[in-house]
Structure 1
């Protein structure tokens, strides 16, 4: 076989393609080479907001930073309530005017909750958290420097703006950074800021008011806030904001107006009269605004809050149970100090605070423990047992009277705290774990909003109940004694003795009203224990709590 001369090439020469020749001798142009397939673009850098770290070491420091901010924002509410009588005295204002120091904060805080998730989505949760923590600290300084009622109320409103955003932002960031199978443990630690802060607020407030100056209840936030801002800037992972979701202005306007009207009616009902025209108008406005909000959210393409979360029974049921147990915890935190510092007992703020420390210790122990148990056995039986224990604690507190030993009150509060510590965080974790990813931010907002409204709603209704029951009890006891009674006639000769007699009679009527109120809330908790049987059971798995996604 002969070799063609053209095929012989020196070694190392570059081979060139030989043109093909058609049968008629005309060279044929070779077909152009096929284009190489396009190179696949490198996958985009994953958004840190969608990552779920595998180990606990990566999220524990960040969780600690979130607990600091949450603890500070909630502590401020309970600590101010203790100092209100002193503030009123030093500023020379009436009790009705002084109440606006607390009311202005509560109203503004509630209004800011619905927009919190959108702000985090738009500008990034880390940026919003750091700015809110810094803003809360600066506003606290201004509150401490206030020279009168007007400036103090304005600065409290400025303080409440970031104070209302921080809880929702913390909850959203917690769900993003914690693996679903460790959500219970994380929520147990997170509960130290949510539940323990109101429990120790009266103690700390009493110490500051009695031994320093009422302005230090605000100044105490400064070092904590500075450390929190520094820690957040270093530890928290940065997440990018998104510009693809415009603000639902109509939705925000309607829900803000509805919440403002509802919270104002609940705050002022006891003073304005629950059947008065202003209160009835506020309730009507609240109902209409909320109804309009629902219509708007169901029609717009990008709603402010996703109402589809309410189609999940396992989200709605825990939301109701959280509301019930929040009502019991915060009602006792409000009424017990009021009773201890009332005319029948006359304890100082410091001594009152010392009596509340044991329940704070119970919460501090049980909250992390309940989180670990949730990761092992799920929420159902923790919720059932916790609500039962809370109900028993409230029924124990219903034995309250002017002569009740302090130990009995402490025992009842500790039993109640034990129930709250067992049930609160598992219930919240279970409810937040069932919603789909696209609705997770709205679920966090509704959870925070339910706690705020239930606390105001419970205190408002119970205040109305106490007003009626207390007045009736005082009238009944006064009617038993007449001026013809020799004992009363003798006491009327001495105004001091008469004053003591009146204070004791008033204290008895007040204690009877508190007793009836605790019975009502205790029965609600026991009913909640029955409903908790319908919660999902079993150990939560990695797929049971969807990761956060935008």
Structure 2
């Protein structure tokens, strides 16, 4: 049975996503949720890994770093592989790799095998998100990209919020093994659903694989992100463990840029930047993701370190942000398709900055209703910002460019998120180290210093100083968020600006014709 996902649906009922597209969206969201949850769910298990494997924090932190680096290394090849093997085959393969890695993680007997299994997990998980964007964009067509991007935004919200809650609950109710084993039943269901629902692959002439580009970009991204991820551990960018890999990685990425500009079919098509809308969207997304993802690590840390909340409670206290985004995200998706993302993104950034301003005034006893209300306002802004920016990029691409475009945007997200996390961590660490009382209290929180070794008055002063350190760090985040307004001013503000000239679509060679036409969704 075939359910068209192209012009008939788009033209006849522009306000709705048809049943076939919604089924595809469900499959894609399921895979994306697993991939994104596994970034955050492991963060709450690090102390458990320390005691279980008798390892240092720096060692167990590699369970997160290895996963992130694997994601960064595999994302660049996704666009080419999707064109070569087909999105459905590659998506199913990614699910298998991810679930296999999850099972191996649960069977780890030492920290080394656990880190190795996390790399395998990352290789599968890294392809799920860009593939999901490609599949959904092609299924819905350019007129409905805003709405499908809103759907894909759900796992991006559930990851940071649900990860700590789920991880904390599983560790308390069962054992650490279940933070990985839970992916087995979900992964099996996702595989069956993807096999039945996703459109059949349509073989097309494939381009020659860019081995030189692969040898430059994937190791370059991994090395650069490794150096950036090492900044919080060393507290400075001047450490050799930070500078050496970061410089080597950056040099490889720059070499890739020169290589890609001279090659006809590079691993990542940098000629996409000739598309004005995509270029503006990439600049806006880069600034936004650095600011927002950097700030995202501060919220639960404040609840854990200053307010002495449990991991589970810290996750629950983040829920208003997700609730706010869930309200505005579907509305923003619909309006983006009708009016363009420009006005929505500007409004969203203003809301995020307004909500985050509350956190610049943090004290040790700031009212919870005030903090929760501010997070809700930020969530409203979040729902109007991230996915409309993504829409501005992908809706302006032809059918043949979508796979490469979604890959490019995912590289931007992964790199920006790592940079933002590292920058905010270093700023917070330096703020703490500049205050002796805050340093003493933080030592107690981290378990490095016994509480009875610190005078009560120092603990009280240190708690307040630690809260102020968080407030100062949030001030930097607010400034970065406000700076996002500059490129956001140039985002398209009309529907017409989001369309491309169909004459430039290479789909005509394959019988696609108009760039706005997507292949039909085939339900098996």
Q: Return the match for 2:251 from 266, 288, 299.
A: 288
Counterpart secondary structure, 2:483: helix
Q: Specify the alignment match of 2:475 in structure 1.
A: 519
- CA shift, 1:243, in A, is 5.1
Tell me, yes or no, if structure 1 residue 433 matches structure 2 residue 389: no
Cross-structure match for 2:485: 529
Q: Taking CA–CA contacts closer than 8 Å with sequence separation of 6 or more, which of the two structures ends up with the larger relative contact order?
A: 2
Compute the displacement of 1:91 (Å): 2.1
Q: Distance in 2 between matches of 1:312 and 1:389?
A: 29
In structure 2, the CA distance between the partners of 1:356 and 1:221, relative to structure 1 (3 Å rule), is same
- Aligned counterparts of 1:166 and 1:404: Cα–Cα separation in 2: 40
1:39-68 C-alpha deviation (Å, 9 max, x unpaired): xxxxxxx9x999666262221111111111
Q: Which residue in the other structure is 2:324 paired with?
A: 362
Deviations 1:122-170 (Å, cap 9, x if unpaired)? 1111011011112211211111121110110010001000111111111
User: 45, 49, 55: which is aligned to 1:83?
Assistant: 45
Alignment partner of 1:116 out of 78, 88, 91: 78
The correspondence of residues 27-426 of structure 1 with structure 2, limited to 5 A, is 54=9, 56-242=18-204, 244-272=206-234, 273-342=236-305, 344-426=306-388
Of 289-298 and 192-201, more deviation after overlay is shown by 192-201
* Greater share of residues in helix: 2
CA distance in 2, matches of 1:262, 1:250: 18
- Give yes or no for the alignment of 1:539 onto 2:495: yes
Structure 2: gaps (5+ residues) = 11-17, 441-449, 511-524
1:470 aligns with 2:426: no
In the TM superposition, residue 291 of structure 1 has moved relative to its aligned partner by 1.4
Whether the 8 Å contact between 2:355 and 2:378 is mirrored in structure 1 is: yes
Q: How does 1:427-466 map to 2 (within 5 A)?
A: 427-466=389-428
Contact 2:294 2:423 in 1 (8 A): no
Q: Give the total of aligned pairs.
A: 488
Cα deviation for residue 115 of structure 1 reads 0.4
Bigger mean CA deviation after superposition, 146-155 or 304-313: 304-313
What's 1:496 paired with? 452
User: Could you say what secondary structure the match of 1:534 adopts?
Assistant: coil
RMSD across aligned positions (CA): 2.5
Q: Distance in 1 between matches of 2:406 and 2:136?
A: 10
Distance 1:266 1:499 in 2: 37
In structure 2, relative to structure 1, the CA distance for the partners of 1:189 and 1:545 (3 Å cut) is farther
In structure 2, relative to structure 1, the CA distance for the partners of 1:293 and 1:70 (3 Å cut) is same
Separation of aligned partners in 2, 1:50 and 1:229: 22
Contact 1:54 1:179 in 2 (8 A): no
Return the offset for 1:510: 3.0
1:197 Cα offset (Å): 2.3
Q: Is the 8 A contact 1:115 1:252 kept in 2?
A: yes
